[in-house]
Structures are given as structure tokens and as C-alpha cells.
A and B are shown apart, each in its own frame.
Chain A
């Protein structure tokens, strides 16, 4: 899920790239060399230089390849976009993860917190097609897991976090985003995703 953000940005900008799969239980010497501090994926290697941490990689990609800008130019709008990126990557992401992994007793509270985050995103979307406006922006890219993973996840768990009644704009956004050809090309088919989620949750 984390690497997809980077791949999506590269594809939107038409940047050709090689994808190297890492076995996180048996990290390659390449990974340890290029990300000595965190030893994690994703790592972008550009002409031999490494950039790590997905948000930082996205910012680097934006500055290096000018086609298809994913951040606004205006300083205020840019700061706002960065704020949402930070919110989704931070508070939102951990709230939703808590729902997935919290014990039964804490489930209700976790769901409440996650819904608060979704409510905030609903109002941030503010009638636009994407967070980036008419086109996909960095905020959309960072929210990919919500668009793609949340609905199958909540079905499997029998929970209702994101519904068209509660958050109509956000719900529509998930459909619009996932149906973009560039996104469909990138993501695994739904049944494979469902199997992956089930396996991950049972660990």
C-alpha cells in the first residue's frame, strides 16, 4: 500500500521506472544501503541517489518532473494541500489502522475516531471532484488507501465507516478515483485485495 503512492505519482507524470519488490522479512543489502536510518520501503533511486519516506519522495517527484503538477503553485493553497497530506498520512491513517487492529472492547471508540477523520475529509473535499480539484493531486494520492482499501475492508469486518449516506462526497470520490484508468492499471484486482486484507487481519 505504501509503494503505490509513489508509483501513482510516477505514472501520472509519465516517468518510466523499474519496480523492485522487497521481502520485508529478508531485506536486501540494496535496501539496507539506501535506507540505513529506517530500513523501510518505499525507496526511490534516481540516478543512484536515494530518497526515502513516501511524502518526501512525492515532494521530490513533484519538483523533479514538471509534467502533471500534483501540488498547487499558490503558497497558501500549497500549504493547505501539505496540511491535508500531513493529516491523512498522520492522524487519519492511524485512526483507521486502529479500527483494523484494536481489540473488541476498543473497537467502538476507534470507529468513532475514524469517522471523525472521514467527516473532516468530507468537508475538505467541499464539492470538488478530487482533493486536487479537477485533477488528481498529492492529497488524493496520499488518500489512495482510503479510496481503494477502506470499502472492501469495512465489508469484510462488517463495519460501516464510509457510506454514501454519511459521507456522500467522499464516497463518490472513492469511485471516481479508483475508476481512473491510471489508478486501475496500478491496483490489484478486488478479489486479490480482499484475500490480502483477510490474510493480513488474521495475523
Chain B
């Protein structure tokens, strides 16, 4: 029986990009369905009734939501190539710790940066702190996953398409503060087609942010 894989997507979402990278790495064929988050489809509401959010992976009719849970699911089911998580429990826990750290910090703080309200300066500080912490964790490794990309790389790299928007809205340079991290992002895009294909161009994201700000009256 052929596997049926559908991804409920929203193209600017860093969380959805994570899933696309994972699917690409594993060579999984899938159908991508764009959602309008201001007008959610009945399918989305049916497949993720509790959070009503994307990404949702639908595998042979069964939905899985929450991007890190989806990544772990993909890694378990399609386990023959490109492992995303280490097999050693301790290494796994460390990888999941950093993926969770990224989840807790980057989206929320980044949002405060591009929204440009009174707390923008504070948000910029916090963002640079987090990125510096991640840069320290990367150290001299090629990727967070070591010689190859792993779940931490997959979790973080989508946010790098948002860097241009953060920088422009906040009038600062991420590269100046975190050159190694920016170099790492370039490396991911150059060496992994799954990454370069999943990430929209930073200018497209910027256009989207500008439209969204207008819509929100900012």
C-alpha cells in the first residue's frame, strides 16, 4: 500500500519549514496544502481541533501536530536514512533540550522584534542573547548534529529566513553579533537541498511581515 502523506502548511511558518526539511531529508513524497490562517480550512480544524494550528502532518489519514512531535514521528517511521535524532538516550536528551529551547525563545522574541512596539529594544537584546547561547552550543562543529544536520539544525535554520526581517524592523545586525551562526545557516542551505528548498527567500518573508504589520495596524 502506498503511503499517503499530506502536510498542512503555511509558507512563512518556520515550524512548517522544519517538517518540509525533514520530509525532504528522508525522501518522502508528500502533498502540500497551503492554509490561510485568517480563514482556516475545515480539514485543518478537523485534523487539529485543539490548537487549530499548522503544521499538521497527515499520514494515511491520521494527523500528527506540533512540529517537534512531527519530527520525532518522521524519524521513527522513516528510520532507514538521514537520522534526525541521535540513538544514544543522553545525546537525544541534549538535542531535544536545545530544540525545546529554540521553541521557547526564538519565535516569541522574534515576533516582539518585528512588531516594533515599546518592548522592541528589550526583545532585540534577548534575541541576541539567545542566538549567542546557541552559537556557543554550536561551537566548532559543522552542524548542531555534528557532521550532519540533526533535529536542532532543522529546528533553528527556518528562523534564519526571518533574520533579515528582524534586522530591518529592529535596525540591527545579527551577523555582527553572531557571525558563526550566520555562517552555519549558509552552510546548511548550501549543502542540504532539503533546506534550500524549504526556506523561502528572506525578502519574501520581509514582504509578508510588512503586509502582516499593515493588517495588524502596526
Chain A residues within 8 Å of B, Cβ to Cβ = 37, 46, 49, 51-53, 55-57, 59-60, 63-64, 75-76, 78-79, 82-83, 86-87, 91, 120
Which of B89, B92, B96 has the largest number of chain A CB atoms within 10 A?
B89
**B173 close to chain A: CB less than 8 A:** no
The 10 closest A-B pairs by CB, nearest first: A63-B89, A60-B93, A79-B73, A79-B64, A82-B69, A51-B93, A75-B76, A64-B89, A75-B77, A56-B96
A73: nearest chain-B partner, CB-CB: B76
* Chain A contact residues: helix, strand, loop or mixed: helix
**B126 close to chain A: CB less than 8 A:** no
Please state if B89 and A60 are interface contacts (CB–CB under 8 Å). yes
Q: How far is the CB of B205 from chain A (nearest CB, A)?
A: 26
* Chain B contact residues: helix, strand, loop or mixed: helix
Please state if B133 and A76 are interface contacts (CB–CB under 8 Å). no
Given contacts A59-B92, A83-B64, list 14 more A-B pairs with CB under 8 A.
Answer: A53-B100, A57-B93, A60-B90, A63-B89, A63-B92, A64-B89, A78-B73, A78-B76, A79-B70, A79-B73, A82-B72, A83-B69, A86-B69, A91-B51
Please state if A59 and B93 are interface contacts (CB–CB under 8 Å). yes
Which of A76, A78, A79 has the largest number of chain B CB atoms within 10 A?
A79
A80: nearest chain-B partner, CB-CB: B64
Which of B65, B77, B92, B93 has the largest number of chain A CB atoms within 10 A?
B93
Contact partners of A60 in chain B: CB under 8 A = 89-90, 92-93
Q: In the complex the two chains form, what is the Cα distance from A37 to B129 in whole Å?
A: 11
Contact partners of A56 in chain B: CB under 8 A = 93, 96-97, 100
**B213 close to chain A: CB less than 8 A:** no
Contact partners of A46 in chain B: CB under 8 A = 90
Contact partners of B101 in chain A: CB under 8 A = 37
Q: In the complex the two chains form, what is the Cα distance from A93 to B163 in whole Å?
A: 32
Q: How far is the CB of B70 from chain A (nearest CB, A)?
A: 8
